[in-house]
Structure 1
Amino acid sequence: MTSTAPASERAVRYPPFGEFIALIALMMSIIALSIDNLLPAFVPIQHEFGLSHASEVQFIISSYMIGFAVSQLFYGPLSDAIGRRPSMLIGLAIYLAGTALAIVATSFETLLAARVVQGVGAAASRVLVMTIVRDRYHGQEMARVMSFVMMVFIIGPVIAPGSGALILLFGSWRLIFVSMLGLGLALLLWFLLRMPETLAPGNRMKPSAGAVLEGFRQCVTNRVTFGYTLAISLMLGTLMGYINSAQQILETDVYALGAWFPLVFGLIAAAMGIASFANAHLVRRMGPRRLSHICAVAFVLTALVLVLVSLFYGGHPPLVPFAILLASLNFLFSLSVPNFNALAMEPMGRIAGTASSIIGATTTALSAIFGLAVGQAFDGTVLPLAFGYLSFSLIGLAVIWWTERRLVLRRAGA
C-alpha cells in the first residue's frame, strides 16, 4: 500500500501554476510563430521560387491554415479516447516532420505541402491546450487561466517578425524553419517530461463513430457553443486579414517600412499582451460574458473609425493613427475572443476534446477564408483591411445578439 500511493500521487502531480501556464502557452505559441516568423521572408521566398506576384506568397499562410483547420476535427475525439498526453505528442511529431520537409523543399509546391503537414501537427496544440485547461478549470477560472496563456502566447507575434528578420541576416529563409524545428523539439521534450495526463479515466470515450457523431451533435445543437464559435470565426477573420495584408501594407507597398516592419508589427501586437494581462483581472470582476460583450461593441465602433479615417485619407492614412487604431483593435480582440472561447467550451463538459476540435476546426477554416479574401483584395491601400474589420465584427456582434437573445428575453421576463 505504501509503495503504490506515491506512484498514484506522481501520476496526477501537475507542474506548478507558473510552469503550467508557460508550457501550455508556448505549446500554443508555436501556432503563431509558424506564421509570423515567415512574414519577413515573403520577398526572399518570392524571389527564390520565381513567383510572379507578391500575393502568391500568402499561400504559405493559407496552406498551413488548411492543414491546421481540417486536422483539428481528429485530435479532439482522439484525445477523448486515448488521452491528451499521447495525442499532443503525436501532433508534435507530425509538426516536426513537416518542418523538416520545409527545410529541404526545392519547389514552392513542396513548401506548400510541408506547410500543410506543419499545420496538421500544430493543430494538436490548438485543440489540446484548450482541452487541458478545460480539464482542470471551469467558468471564470478557466477564462482567467486562458488570459494568462494568451498573455504569454502573444509574445510570439511580438517577437516573431523581428526574430525572423534577424535570422535572415545570417542566412536564407530555411534557417527560420530550422529555428521552428529546434523549438518543436524542445517543447516535445518538456511536455514529455513534465505534463501528466489530465483526462480522468472515467471520462474516456470509446473510439467509435457513434460517440464522435454524438459529440458533434451536442456542439452543433447547443446554441451557446454554436453561436460563440461563429463569433470567434468572424473576429479571428479580422486578425487573419491583417496578418495576410501586414507585409504588403507595412513593409513594402503602403508604408514601405522595410527593416522597420518587424518593430512596428511587434508594437501593434504588443497591445494584445497588455489586454490579456488586463483580462485575467477584469474577467473575475465582470465575468466573461459581460466583459466580452462590451469589448465586441467597442471593437465595431473602433473599426468604424478606422474605415472613416482610411476613407478620409484616400486609403493611405498616416502611419501613427493607423497603427494606434490597429493596436486598439488588437487590444479589444484580446478582451473578447478568449472569453468567447471560454463561453463556447463551458457547456461541453466531458466531451471537451471533441468540442475543442469542432470549435478549433470551424474557427480556423472560416477565419482563414475570411482572412485570405481580405489579403487577396489588397489594392495598394488599407481600405480592404479596414472594411474587413468593420464587416466581420459587425456580423459577429449580430451573431452574439442572436446567441444571447433567448437568455436576455428570459431575464427580462423574470
Structure 2
Amino acid sequence: MSSTKSKIALKPRALGERELIVLMALLMSLQAFGIDAMLPALGQMAEEMGADGNRRQWVIAAYFLGAGVGAFFPGAFADKFGRRPILGLALIAYVSLSLACALATDYDVLLAIRLAQGVLCAGLSVVPAAIVRDHVGGDRMARLMSLIMMIFLIVPILAPAIGQAIMYFAGWRAIFGAMAVMGTGVGLWVWGRLPETLQDDNRQDIDPRTILRNMGTALTDRGAIGYVVGSALVFGSLFGFLNSSQQLIAETFGMGDYFALIFGGAVLGMVAANFTNSRIVERFGARRVSHVALLVFIGISIGQLLSARAQPQSLAEFIVLMSISMAMLGFIGANFASIAMQPFYHIAGAASSAQTAVRMSTGAVLGALIGNLYDGTALPLAASMFSCGLLALAIVLFSERGKLFRRKTPPGTSAPIP
C-alpha cells in the first residue's frame, strides 16, 4: 500500500495553464538562445577559426537546417512513446552537444556539431505544439500559442546581450556552456512537473506506412498546407535577417557595439504582437488576424525595399520598418501554426513533426540563401521579404479557395474555428 502511494506521489500532477505556457515557452526558448546568443560572437568566432566573409553565418544556418531535417522524426515517436521521453532525449542532446561545441577547435567540426545538435534537438520545437494540441484546439490554441510565443520571444531580445556579456567576461566558448546550464535547468523542470499528455487511445504504431500516412495527411490537407508553406516563406525572410543581422548592424550601419540593443529593439515588436494576438484572436479569429497581418507585412516590405534603394539608408528607417515587419510575424506565426494543426488532434505529434519540418527546413534554406546575398546593404533582405510575402499570400489564397478573412464553422455546429 505504501509503495502504491509512493508511486502516485512521484507522478507529476497536471499543469495549470500558466505553468504550461511558461514551460512550453522555455523549451522552445532553448532553440532560440542557441541561435541568438551566438550572433554577437560571429565576428570573433570567424576570426579565431578562419571563417571568411558570409561563411560565418553557417554557425546559425547549420543549426536551422539541422532543426528542419530533424523535425521529421520526433513527432511520430512522441505519438507512440509519449511526449516526455522524446523531450528528455532532446534535452540530453542539447546539453551534451552544447558542451561539445564549446570544445571544438576547427570551424568545420563546429558546423558539423551544430548541424547534429539541430537534428537531435528538433523535439524541442515539435513536441511543445503537440502538447498544447493535446490540451486545446481552435482559437483557444491560437491564444495559448500566442502567449507561449510572447514569453519565448523574450529570449531573442535578451540573448544577444547575454551572449555579449558572456563574451566580455569569459569568451565566446562560454556561451555554449550557458546553453548547457539552461538545458539542464529546464530538463529538471520537465522531469519533475510535466505529466504525460498523450492519451492511450491516440497512440500510433511506429510503422513507416503509418508514419508516412499521418505525415502525408498533415501535408496534403488543402486547408492546412497553405499555412504551413506560407509561414515557411515569411519566416524564411526572418531567418535571412537573423543570418545577416550581425553584418548589417555592425558593418552596413557601423553600430556593432550596440548590436544587442538594436537587435532586441527590432524583436520587441513581435512580443507586443503576440500579447495583442492573445487578447484579440478568440474574438476575431486566427484567420482574420493573420490575413490582415500578412497584407501589412507585404506593404511594409515595399517600404523597406524603397528605403533600401535610397542610399544611404538610415539605421532609424531600417529598424523601424524591420520592427513593424517582425511584429506582423508575431501575428502570423502562432495563428498560421494553429490553423494548420486544427484538423489533426488524433495525430498531433506526426502532424506537428511534418509541419515543423517543412517550416524549418524551407525557412533554413531560404534564410541561408538570403543571408548569402548580403552585399553590404539591406537591399537583398528587403527584396526577399517582399517576394516571400507575395508567395505566402498566393499559397494562403489557394488554401482558402480565393477568399480571405473568413471564420469557418464545423458542419453541424455554431462554434467557429480559427
Give the shorter-chain TM-score range: over 0.9
* Matched residue SS, 2:204: coil
* Matched residue SS, 1:170: helix
Q: Does 1:259 align with 2:257?
A: yes
Give, in whole Å, the separation in 2 of the partners of 1:2 and 1:107: 55
Map of 1:274 onto structure 2 = 272
Q: Check conservation: 1:148, 1:280, Cα contact below 8 A.
A: yes
Give, in whole Å, the separation in 2 of the partners of 1:244 and 1:373: 10
* Matched residue SS, 1:73: coil
* Cα drift, residue 4 of structure 1: 7.0
* Matched residue SS, 1:385: helix
Give, in whole Å, the separation in 2 of the partners of 1:108 and 1:223: 43
One-letter amino acid of the counterpart of residue 247, structure 1: Q
* Cα drift, residue 113 of structure 1: 1.5
* Cα drift, residue 76 of structure 1: 0.4
**Unaligned residue ranges in structure 2 (runs of 5+):** 408-418
Q: Check conservation: 1:235, 1:337, Cα contact below 8 A.
A: no
Give, in whole Å, the separation in 2 of the partners of 1:267 and 1:384: 22
Q: How many residues align?
A: 408
* Cα drift, residue 2 of structure 1: 12
One-letter amino acid of the counterpart of residue 205, structure 1: Q
Map of 1:357 onto structure 2 = 353
Per-residue CA deviation, residues 181-221 of structure 1 (Å, 9 max, x unaligned), is: 10011111110100000000111011111210210221122
* Cα drift, residue 121 of structure 1: 3.1
One-letter amino acid of the counterpart of residue 388, structure 2: F
**Unaligned residue ranges in structure 1 (runs of 5+):** none
Q: Check conservation: 2:269, 2:323, Cα contact below 8 A.
A: yes
Q: Check conservation: 1:95, 1:117, Cα contact below 8 A.
A: no
* Matched residue SS, 2:401: helix
* Matched residue SS, 1:106: coil
Map of 2:413 onto structure 1 = none
Per-residue CA deviation, residues 5-38 of structure 1 (Å, 9 max, x unaligned), is: 9977985732222222111101001111111100
Q: Tell me which of 381, 385, 394 is aligned to 1:385.
A: 381
Give, in whole Å, the separation in 2 of the partners of 1:375 and 1:322: 16
1:222-301 mapped onto 2 (5 Å cutoff): 222-251=221-250, 253-301=251-299
One-letter amino acid of the counterpart of residue 256, structure 2: G
Map of 2:50 onto structure 1 = 50
* Cα drift, residue 163 of structure 1: 0.6
One-letter amino acid of the counterpart of residue 262, structure 1: A
Q: Does 1:346 align with 2:329?
A: no
One-letter amino acid of the counterpart of residue 382, structure 2: A
* Cα drift, residue 120 of structure 1: 2.0
Map of 1:23 onto structure 2 = 23
Map of 2:414 onto structure 1 = none
Give, in whole Å, the separation in 1 of the partners of 2:12 and 2:178: 33
One-letter amino acid of the counterpart of residue 178, structure 1: G
Map of 1:115 onto structure 2 = 114
Quickly say closer, same or farther: Cα 1:6–1:143, change in 2 above 3 A.
farther
* TM-score, normalised relative to structure 1: 0.94
Give, in whole Å, the separation in 2 of the partners of 1:131 and 1:193: 20
Q: Check conservation: 2:233, 2:389, Cα contact below 8 A.
A: yes
Give, in whole Å, the separation in 1 of the partners of 2:290 and 2:356: 19
Q: Check conservation: 2:49, 2:107, Cα contact below 8 A.
A: yes
RMSD over equivalenced CA pairs, Å: 2.1
Q: Check conservation: 2:249, 2:259, Cα contact below 8 A.
A: yes
Q: Check conservation: 1:240, 1:372, Cα contact below 8 A.
A: yes
More displaced stretch, 59-68 vs 237-246 = 59-68
Q: Check conservation: 2:13, 2:193, Cα contact below 8 A.
A: no
Q: Does 1:395 align with 2:391?
A: yes
One-letter amino acid of the counterpart of residue 228, structure 2: T
Give, in whole Å, the separation in 2 of the partners of 1:139 and 1:221: 20
Give, in whole Å, the separation in 1 of the partners of 2:404 and 2:269: 32
Map of 1:375 onto structure 2 = 371
* Cα drift, residue 97 of structure 1: 2.0
* Cα drift, residue 106 of structure 1: 1.3
Per-residue CA deviation, residues 208-250 of structure 1 (Å, 9 max, x unaligned), is: 1121021022112211221111001101111001101100010
Map of 2:70 onto structure 1 = 71
1:84-123 mapped onto 2 (5 Å cutoff): 84-123=83-122
One-letter amino acid of the counterpart of residue 264, structure 1: I
Q: Check conservation: 2:70, 2:121, Cα contact below 8 A.
A: no
Map of 1:13 onto structure 2 = 13
* Cα drift, residue 372 of structure 1: 0.9
